[in-house]
Amino acid sequence: MSRPVLSVRDAQLTLGARTLWSGLELDVAPGEFVAVLGANGSGKTSLLKAILGQHPLAHGEILLDGEPVRRGDRRIGYIPQQRGQDPALRIRGRDLVRLGVDGERWGTGWPSRARHQRVDELLDAVGASHYAKVPVALLSGVSSSGCASARRSRATRGSCCATSRSARSTCARNGS
């Protein structure tokens, strides 16, 4: 078995005087999807925030590819639950992904064949190629999350993408 992409070891999260969870052990293998289920207030979103480095653990550790997670870690993409989009907004799935490809520069840059091909590769990697020309406002939450996953996947090989939709989260190694 290969090394886990994400490891949580003897983790405890305490917010104020309340311990949300303790003794948490979790390994996520490359390509594996994990659902985190629980009642309201049980710490599902707080777990994601701990993985993102936004909530420090009271005890234990969280490792991404064997290294401690830290706030703003570019290897992790987080797609929060999304609200509806303005139907007049004409940004397409392809445009949303391109924002991630061009995201470190000011402006959109000049069109290029290489950038267009990279966007196609990212959409294909998350199974969202058929949404490339669809306005984002018309996509369902899951479909727009796929495009957002492609946008975030551009960072580095071995990225971890997490999606928060109600009581579901996923983390998977990106092979692009």
Residue-level pLDDT at 173: 33
Is 86 in the same domain as 138?
A: yes
Is 63 in the same domain as 86?
A: no
Average model confidence (pLDDT) for the chain? 76
Last residue of a domain, one of 75, 91, 110: 75
**Within a domain: residue 158?**
no
Is 39 in the same domain as 53?
A: yes
Position 45 pLDDT exceeds 50:
yes
**Within a domain: residue 161?**
no
**Within a domain: residue 46?**
yes
Is 67 in the same domain as 89?
A: no
Number of domains in the chain: 2
**Within a domain: residue 167?**
no
Q: How confident is the model over 124-140, as pLDDT tens digits?
A: 888 888 888 888 777 75
Is 46 in the same domain as 94?
A: no
Segment among 3-7, 26-30, 57-61, 144-148 with least mean pLDDT = 144-148
Residue-level pLDDT at 160: 45
Residue-level pLDDT at 155: 42
For 142, the domain range is: 79-153
Is 62 in the same domain as 126?
A: no
Q: How confident is the model over 85-108, as pLDDT tens digits?
A: 677 777 888 888 887 776 666 666
* Average of per-residue pLDDT across 6-27: 93
Is 102 in the same domain as 69?
A: no
Is 83 in the same domain as 69?
A: no
Give residue 141's pLDDT band: very low, low, confident or very high (50, 70, 90).
low
Position 37 pLDDT exceeds 80:
yes
Residue-level pLDDT at 81: 61
Is 92 in the same domain as 40?
A: no
Helices 141-153 + 113-125 axis angle, to 10: 130
Give the CA dihedral 153, 157, 160, 165, nearest 10 degrees: 20
Is 69 in the same domain as 19?
A: yes
Position 30 pLDDT exceeds 70:
yes
